[in-house]
A and B are shown apart, each in its own frame.
Chain A
Amino acid sequence: MNQDNSLHGEFSSISPAEFFYRNRQMAGFGNPSQAVYSTVRELVENSIDACEEARRQPDVRVSIDEERSGIVRVTVSDNGTGVPYGEVPNAFARVLYGDKFTARQRRGTFGLGVTMAALYGQITTDSPVIVVTQTSHTIGRYYQLLIDIENNQPVILSDESHEREGPGTEVTIRLKGDLNRSRERVYDYLQLTTVASPHAHVELAINGSSIMKMGWWHQILPAPTTASKPHPHGADLELLRRLVADAGERSLHSFLVESFQRMGTRTATRFLKFLAINPRQAVNTLGRGDISRLSSALRSFDGLGRPDGKCLSPIGKNAFLASIESVFAPSALTYGSRGPTEWSGNAFIVESVAAIGTGARAADVPTLYRFANRVPLLYDSGEDALTKMLKRVNWVQYGVRSTTPVSIFLHLCSTRIPFKAAGKQSIASLPEIEHEVLSLLRELGRSLKKTLKRGERSVRDAQKKREFDKAMKQVAQFSAELAECDAVPSTTELVHRLFEVDHHV
């Protein structure tokens, strides 16, 4: 035994906090400039989620101050619901604690990010995270929190009453960061955040001076999402076991109808008949083998309708067009969307806007702006499934030339975004998503082609008119010289009439 121990070392479990600290580059805290950006990002996403929860137009203020070289203080405040006071220590100082484990679209995924930022700040500057929050009808509280990394437990340094002007939350984190190198990314991120959340307003101040105030491009709040029942295709063994454990003595038939979306009584009957299982069998009599068989049958069952889309919050045509128009002032835009469909039971929608003349660099392939659940993705675009699909489209076929500045804004929203890593910067290649994205891009390509053609034609027409106008003026001048009359006759009206008529033809 002693020998074995020395051979294998000591087995021990590590806490989630420790695990994430050791793997911080995975969560987007790999270097000082990315750390500033990731901190801002996590806090802003939480803030906007909280405001939507409260059905308020988000008003998010970000300030970044460099205390001394390499040490940065990031503060993000919002007008959201505020955090219930009992939950504050766990929400901000305990890894993998949160309210986001439901099957609906949210910006954050596990409530992991903010804690990760707090953790990074604590490790690099030995400073607590400071939270000031106020829920409605209360005064507000002030907290200083540290994380007990080994035990994944919050350590409360202070917890006192604190006045705040109205409900909302303000979080401050001190961290080791490179402000200069992250500045541009932060700006881009916040600007694109207002594109993906046109109902939000965002302000940025750096070292006390205001850098940006933008947003509220679209006044209508997105409809609240409601959590959906699981989709049959997502019924893996673990999920199914949990559902079965909660179902008690219910019959298999009614268990299916009540637990899953797209499972009406008729579909459930058909499904069980196909499996040759008695629909009246009580769920709690199912053995391990039965559950396993049921799981694989559910996941491969065809003939289900489109997944429930109420759990999703696409930006929507009007809002998306309005925000891009406000931020980029393009000369023409076109919108398209596809879905909802699902990957492994997770509903998703892809929507996109193609814009011409946004100041983007002209190239054979349009410039791509990626968004996932209303969050702009700025890093790792090379490995991203959306980028791959963009490159697969033959844009020349749709009239995109190396002289045409075209931008594509592509938004994937889903109950679960298949990120490649916890840094949430690139989307994994899944055939269902790739197929929908490719189809959508081609659809946009077709309408882009029409728009480009129309644009070219009107430019050509205007040029023709200019040339014609010049020629007629010359004709008038030369013939006046020939006729020896002093006044050159005016041709303006004549030319104007000719081209007006042309447009009606």
Chain B
Amino acid sequence: MFDQSKSLSALKDLGTAIVQSIDNEEFPTLKFPGRGTGNLVYDEESKRFVLGNTRVIRDSSNLRHIKSFTQLVWVASYAKQLLQGGRTCSLRDLYYSSEAFGVEFSDQAESDRTVTDLECLTGIAREAFGVFPEERSSIYGQVTMRYTVAGYEGRDVDLTLSPDGLPIGPALVTADPVESDAELILAVESGGIFSRLIETRAWERFNAVLIHLGGQPPRATRQLIRRLHDDLDLPVYVFTDGDPWGMHIARVISTGSANAAHIQGLTTPDAEWIGVTADDITKYSLPSEPLNNADLKRLDELSRDVRYSDSMWQDYIRDFRQLQRKAEQQAFSRHGMDYVVDKYLPEKIH
């Protein structure tokens, strides 16, 4: 799925441009789209948010830029080593490797940002450079995938192989779906609900591919959702906690995050949020807690966010503000262990 030669040639072009300016006795500069939320623009065609026209410039003659300039060039050279050696590494690995090259990052957040800079600069996702995040989501369901990674080419894996679910890593993301009995994708926020759905064989009942998001899902997970949606033509349902944070998990799956707006193939515009909505809290009389200051502030931010501009989402926000309460997915347990499977989900998934 990832085109290695494209990544390699992009890196070579980057190096050549820099070497040329130095040879011409000029300080090299780099230019790429800015990633501030102000530079998010909705693209009708791809139905997702993309980066606008604002550009940032890294000028190596600027004393304030030279550090990040060096970091960026190093990440590029490190990516080249990964690709040439047929290796992958995690974002954390990359952060710790920097020291051996005499390049300093103040923390992993800075090295993560630099990796994203390289993506913006080349227009190529970090996975195509062999760089993956540490955290893993899981998947479980009636789908068979065929690996494409070196050493596993052509081998198939049944996603119901383990009762714990399978971790979504570089190998699974690059694998191709070959066979499926599934009819829908159900992505859930918490691990507890994910296990419950497997144990109660709810996946069988709904013919669902279950995905454990674990909070804001890693890109690989969003990418896999998108691929299964596209290749197997499955509708996507997102089930999260009933608070602004859960709501935003669903929204990022369908419209994308500001941080990855420069990457294609991550969003699933049709994905539907089934709750927990503020309405559900009342309707199912779920045990709830009052919204705290951070929750209210987050609601304010979201209400101004372009991704929430349509009326349905503004309504969701308004409902939470009126109710002033939030509830977790687990709150359904008050009505019995299997209530969520027997009662709630059937009403939500049609």
A residues adjacent to B (C-beta < 8 A): 464, 468, 470-472, 474-476, 478-485, 489-491, 493-494, 498
Contacts and interface: CB of A to CB of B under 8 A. Distances in A.
A482 B13 CA distance: 8
A475 B28 contact: yes
B27 A494 contact: yes
B12 A482 contact: yes
B22 A494 contact: yes
B63 A481 contact: no
B37 to A, nearest CB: 30
Contacts of B26: 494
A484 B60 contact: no
A356 to B, nearest CB: 27
A468 B19 contact: no
Given A476-B22, A494-B22, A498-B61, A471 B67 contact: yes
Contact of B74 (A474, A483, A489): A474
B66 interface: yes
Given A468-B66, A474-B74, A478-B73, A483 B103 contact: no
A269 B92 CA distance: 93
A494 B22 CA distance: 8
A471 B74 CA distance: 11
Given A464-B63, A472-B60, A493-B25, A478 B74 contact: yes
Contacts of A498: 27, 61
B119 to A, nearest CB: 16
B15 A483 contact: yes
Nearest to B70: A471
B69 interface: yes
Nearest to B103: A474
Contacts of A483: 12, 15-16, 18-19
Interface in B4-36: 11-12, 14-16, 18-19, 22-23, 25-28
Nearest to A470: B102
11 contacts: A470-B102, A471-B70, A474-B73, A474-B102, A475-B70, A479-B73, A482-B11, A482-B73, A489-B23, A490-B22, A498-B61
Given A474-B103, A494-B22, A481 B66 contact: no
Contact of A468 (B63, B80, B102): B63
A99 to B, nearest CB: 68
Q: Looking at chain B, what size class is its interface with the partner chain?
A: 20 to 34
A490 B23 CA distance: 8
B207 interface: no
Contact of B22 (A474, A481, A484, A491): A491
B327 interface: no
A484 B15 CA distance: 8
Per CB-CB distance, the 5 closest pairs between chain A and chain B, nearest first, are A482-B15, A483-B15, A479-B18, A478-B77, A489-B22
B225 interface: no
Given A471-B67, A482-B73, A476 B19 contact: yes
B253 interface: no
B156 to A, nearest CB: 37
Given A464-B63, A471-B69, A474-B102, A479 B14 contact: yes
Contacts of B103: 474
A218 to B, nearest CB: 44
A142 B61 CA distance: 80
Interface string B67-91: 1011001101100100000000000
Given A474-B103, A475-B18, A475-B73, A494 B25 contact: yes
Contacts of B23: 489
B18 to A, nearest CB: 4
Contacts of B14: 479, 482
Contacts of A482: 11-12, 14-16, 18, 73, 76-77, 80
B69 A481 contact: no
Nearest to A488: B19
Nearest to B66: A471
A483 B12 CA distance: 5
A154 to B, nearest CB: 78
A484 B12 contact: yes
A493 B24 CA distance: 11
B64 to A, nearest CB: 11
A481 B15 contact: yes
Contacts of A484: 12, 15
A169 to B, nearest CB: 66
A471 B67 CA distance: 7
A477 B14 CA distance: 13
Contacts of A472: 60, 66
Contacts of B70: 471, 474-475, 478
A36 to B, nearest CB: 59
A475 B63 contact: no
B12 A481 contact: no
A493 B14 CA distance: 22
Contacts of B74: 474, 478
A71 B76 CA distance: 81
Contacts of A470: 102
A494 B23 CA distance: 10
Interface string B151-180: 000000000000000000000000000000
B22 to A, nearest CB: 4
B315 to A, nearest CB: 50
Interface string B48-69: 0000000000001101001101
A480 B67 contact: no
Given A479-B18, A479-B73, A481-B80, 17 more contacts: A468-B63, A471-B69, A472-B60, A474-B73, A474-B102, A475-B28, A475-B70, A476-B18, A476-B22, A479-B77, A480-B15, A482-B11, A482-B18, A482-B77, A490-B22, A493-B25, A494-B25
Contacts of A481: 15, 77, 80
Contacts of A485: 19
A494 B60 CA distance: 11
- Residue among A481, A491, A498 having the largest count of chain B Cβ atoms under 10 Å: A481
A494 B16 CA distance: 18
Contacts of A471: 66-67, 69-70
Interface in B250-302: none
A483 to B, nearest CB: 3
Contacts of A494: 22, 25-27
Given A481-B80, A489-B22, A489-B23, A475 B69 contact: yes
A478 B22 CA distance: 13
A481 B102 CA distance: 16
Contacts of B66: 468, 471-472, 475
A480 B77 CA distance: 9
Nearest to A483: B15
Interface in B100-137: 101-103
B15 A479 contact: yes
Nearest to B78: A478
A449 to B, nearest CB: 26
B250 to A, nearest CB: 40
B226 to A, nearest CB: 31
B314 to A, nearest CB: 47
Contacts of A476: 18-19, 22
- Residue among B19, B27, B66, B69 having the largest count of chain A Cβ atoms under 10 Å: B19
A481 to B, nearest CB: 5
Contacts of B61: 498
A108 B73 CA distance: 74
A481 B80 CA distance: 9
Nearest to A497: B25
Contact of A478 (B25, B63, B76): B76
A122 B17 CA distance: 92
